[in-house]
């Protein structure tokens, strides 16, 4: 089934499209639609409303909409077929995402491609405690396919404290949140199935979906929050087996889903019988205030599966995560796991148990540190890259920076030559979207953040004055779309 966007949703996404840049109304409308496509808010291959309906909704003449559509078709942003309407596209058919930023960086290069904090002394202490506890586990076989009872109990208690009553039987310990997501893909979907994702999203989740021979169905994030109507339309039109969402300090935007939206999405999952995978990897890294109760707290039909991890909260090298779901699904995931591995290492589980039971105030100190680093990074961007736009995230570890022109991939290719590695925006999207964005983590200390932004500014300047200071009128965007 071909996806489509409703007239009301498109009008809402366009917002104040008229009167911002001046010029003919049809050019302004074409500019607005083009920008939605380039920014990933309007996914590729989606059928847009007909000219008559859109003209009535925007209170403009049909001639205006016809001329705007004609310009977009000429530029390659619309593909119109007789009897099938007009679908969004990209002029050069860019569909490949940049590869993951892998491998060690060269000495002297600041790595802004990874959003993760270093370990603290608390992690070292947890490992020392784990080693002291290890001897009593050595007489056993060491294979814990669902996880140590003590760790499952601690994780369950954490959910209960967040307003989501949980018992240990609802917990499966994994090698991390991504490992848990991979198990769910093996258990619940098959080749060719569709998985709805918010857009942009965690890049390794997209990779996992593709590796499972499934199709990621992107639903663009609006200016604020989540578009529940668009998610419901995607469910109705594509019949997905799963939806992957990040309600708690979304990566890369840092936004947090409010309680009303959580309740609506849980209700939508129940009504459509769609399993929601809620990735809560960033849940501990709130900055402006703690998040609402887990999305699973609103689940009355057993349709919400939650993923968590120690990777962002404590240390990426502590490869311990978990899945929270109904006991029947936990048992099914454990059976699938038996063909892949025989459990998470005991020592790591013991260390995670210590940390999750009592972090010794480590998380509070981390939140204080990342709050200061968030402020510092935003100030550095304003000082050295004044034509970029950033909004302070509510939590997480990164800024989602908007460039004045679609030059993200070109900048990423240039920046390493100037001593800094970054993650290009299209890495976080599907079908070549987000060329006007880059993710800027604030996980590094202030001196390294300053060095990184100074170097990034040099790389940006090296792209030339056209990429630095062009006005964002329609002609500029058209020219840059062809250039990049």
Largest CA distance in the chain: 80
What value does the mean pLDDT take over residues 337-352?
92
What value does the mean pLDDT take over residues 390-409?
94
Q: Is residue 484 over pLDDT 50?
A: no
Q: What is the pLDDT of residue 474?
A: 40
Q: What is the pLDDT of residue 96?
A: 58
User: Of residues 225 and 28, which shows the higher confidence score?
Assistant: 225
Question: Considering 339, 357, 375, which residue would you say is the last residue of a domain?
Answer: 357
- The answer on 345 and 422 residing in a single domain is no
- The answer on 320 and 429 residing in a single domain is no
Question: What tens digit of pLDDT does each residue of 189-229 get?
Answer: 999 999 999 999 999 999 999 999 999 999 999 888 999 99
- pTM score of the predicted model: 0.82
- The answer on 148 and 55 residing in a single domain is no
- Residue 102 located in a structural domain: no
- The answer on 210 and 351 residing in a single domain is yes
Tokens (6 digits) for 130: 């784990």
Q: The CATH number of the domain where 303 resides is what?
A: 3.40.640.10
Q: Is residue 62 over pLDDT 60?
A: yes
Question: What tens digit of pLDDT does each residue of 244-276 get?
Answer: 999 999 999 999 999 999 999 999 999 999 999
Q: What is the pLDDT of residue 4?
A: 84
Question: What tens digit of pLDDT does each residue of 369-399 get?
Answer: 999 999 999 999 999 999 999 999 999 999 9
What value does the mean pLDDT take over residues 18-32?
77
Question: What tens digit of pLDDT does each residue of 432-472 get?
Answer: 789 999 999 999 999 999 999 999 999 999 987 655 444 34
Q: What is the pLDDT of residue 426?
A: 92
Give the pLDDT band of residue 19 (cuts 50, 70, 90).
Answer: low
- The answer on 326 and 292 residing in a single domain is yes
Q: What is the pLDDT of residue 12?
A: 83
398 burial (CB, 10 Å; 0-12 / 13-18 / 19+) is buried
Q: Helix or strand or coil: residue 88?
A: strand
- The answer on 189 and 130 residing in a single domain is yes
- The answer on 291 and 153 residing in a single domain is yes
Lowest mean pLDDT segment, chosen from 44-53, 168-177, 247-256, 309-318: 44-53
Considering only CA atoms, give the Rg of the chain: 23
> Mean pLDDT in the chain?
88
Consecutive H or E run containing 91:
none
- Residue 1 located in a structural domain: no
| Domain enclosing residue 452, as ranges | 110-115+362-483
Contacts of 342 (CB under 8 A, 6+ apart): 143, 145
Residue 135 DSSP label: G
Q: What is the pLDDT of residue 472?
A: 40
196 burial (CB, 10 Å; 0-12 / 13-18 / 19+) is buried
What value does the mean pLDDT take over residues 34-48?
81
Q: Is residue 318 over pLDDT 60?
A: yes
User: Of residues 218 and 59, which shows the higher confidence score?
Assistant: 218
The total number of structural domains in the chain stands at 3
Q: How far apart are CA 290 and CA 255, in angstroms?
A: 12
Q: The CATH number of the domain where 69 resides is what?
A: 1.10.10.10
Lowest mean pLDDT segment, chosen from 43-52, 174-183, 245-254, 474-483: 474-483
What value does the mean pLDDT take over residues 9-38?
79
- The answer on 150 and 233 residing in a single domain is yes
DSSP one-letter string for 246-302: --SS-TTT-----HHHHHHHHHHHHHHT-EEEEE-TTTT-BSSS---S-GGGG-SSS
Q: What is the pLDDT of residue 424?
A: 93
Q: What is the pLDDT of residue 477?
A: 42
Percent of the chain with pLDDT over 70: 91
Question: Considering 338, 357, 376, which residue would you say is the last residue of a domain?
Answer: 357
Lowest mean pLDDT segment, chosen from 196-205, 336-345, 397-406: 336-345
Question: Considering 357, 378, 397, which residue would you say is the last residue of a domain?
Answer: 357
Q: How far apart are CA 311 and CA 292, in angstroms?
A: 21
DSSP one-letter string for 399-466: EEEEPSSS-HHHHHHHHGGGTEEEEEGGGGSSTT--TTEEEEE--S-HHHHHHHHHHHHHHHHHT-HH
Question: What tens digit of pLDDT does each residue of 85-107 get?
Answer: 888 887 764 555 666 655 566 77
Q: Is residue 55 over pLDDT 90?
A: no
CB-CB neighbours of 237 under 10 Å? 17
Tokens (6 digits) for 354: 């210590």
Q: Is residue 473 over pLDDT 50?
A: no
- Residue 103 located in a structural domain: no
Contacts of 138 (CB under 8 A, 6+ apart): none
Closest CA to 305 of 333, 275, 280, 334: 275
Give the pLDDT band of residue 329 (cuts 50, 70, 90).
Answer: very high
- The answer on 376 and 337 residing in a single domain is no
- The answer on 367 and 352 residing in a single domain is no
- Residue 60 located in a structural domain: yes
């Amino acid at each position: 089934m071909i996806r489509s966007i409703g007239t009301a949703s498109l009008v809402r996404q366009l917002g104040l499209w008229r009167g911002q840049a001046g010029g003919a109304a049809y050019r302004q409308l074409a500019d607005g639609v083009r920008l939605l496509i380039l920014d990933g808010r309007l996914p590729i291959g989606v059928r847009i409303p007909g000219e008559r309906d859109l003209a009535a909704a925007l209170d403009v003449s049909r001639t205006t909409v016809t001329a705007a559509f004609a310009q977009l078709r000429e530029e390659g942003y619309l593909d119109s077929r007789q009897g099938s309407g007009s679908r969004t596209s990209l002029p050069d058919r860019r569909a490949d995402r940049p590869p993951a930023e892998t491998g060690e960086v060269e000495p002297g290069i600041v790595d802004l491609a990874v959003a993760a904090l270093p370990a603290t002394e608390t992690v070292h202490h947890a490992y020392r405690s784990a080693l002291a506890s290890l001897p009593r586990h050595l007489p056993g076989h060491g294979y814990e396919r669902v996880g140590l009872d003590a760790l499952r109990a601690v994780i369950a208690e954490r959910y209960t404290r967040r307003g989501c009553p949980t018992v240990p039987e609802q917990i499966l310990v994994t090698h991390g949140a991504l490992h848990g997501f991979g198990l769910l893909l093996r258990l619940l979907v098959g080749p060719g199935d569709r998985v709805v994702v918010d857009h942009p999203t965690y890049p390794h989740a997209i990779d996992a979906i593709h590796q499972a021979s499934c199709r990621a169905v992107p639903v663009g994030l609006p200016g604020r929050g989540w578009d529940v109507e668009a998610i419901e339309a995607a469910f109705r039109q594509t019949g997905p087996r799963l939806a992957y969402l990040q309600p708690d300090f979304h990566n890369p935007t840092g936004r947090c889903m409010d309680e009303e939206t959580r309740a609506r999405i849980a209700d939508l999952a129940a009504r459509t019988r769609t399993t929601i995978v809620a990735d809560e990897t960033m849940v501990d890294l709130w900055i402006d205030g703690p998040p609402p109760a887990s999305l699973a707290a609103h689940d009355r039909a057993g349709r919400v599966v939650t993923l968590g991890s120690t990777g962002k909260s404590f240390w990426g090298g502590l490869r311990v995560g978990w899945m929270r779901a109904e006991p029947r699904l936990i048992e099914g995931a454990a059976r699938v796991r038996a063909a892949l591995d025989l459990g998470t290492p005991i020592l790591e589980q013991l260390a995670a148990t210590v940390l999750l039971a009592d972090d010794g105030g480590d998380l509070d100190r981390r939140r204080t540190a990342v709050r200061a680093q968030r402020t510092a990074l935003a100030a550095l961007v304003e000082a050295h890259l004044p034509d970029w736009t950033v909004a302070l995230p509510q939590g997480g570890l990164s800024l989602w920076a908007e460039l004045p022109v679609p030059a993200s991939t070109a900048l990423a290719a240039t920046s390493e030559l100037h001593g800094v590695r970054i993650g290009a925006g299209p890495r976080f999207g599907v079908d070549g979207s987000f060329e006007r964005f880059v993710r800027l983590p604030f996980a590094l200390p202030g001196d390294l953040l300053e060095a990184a932004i100074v170097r990034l500014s040099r790389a940006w300047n090296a792209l030339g004055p056209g990429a630095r200071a062009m006005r964002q009128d329609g002609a500029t965007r058209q020219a840059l779309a062809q250039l990049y």
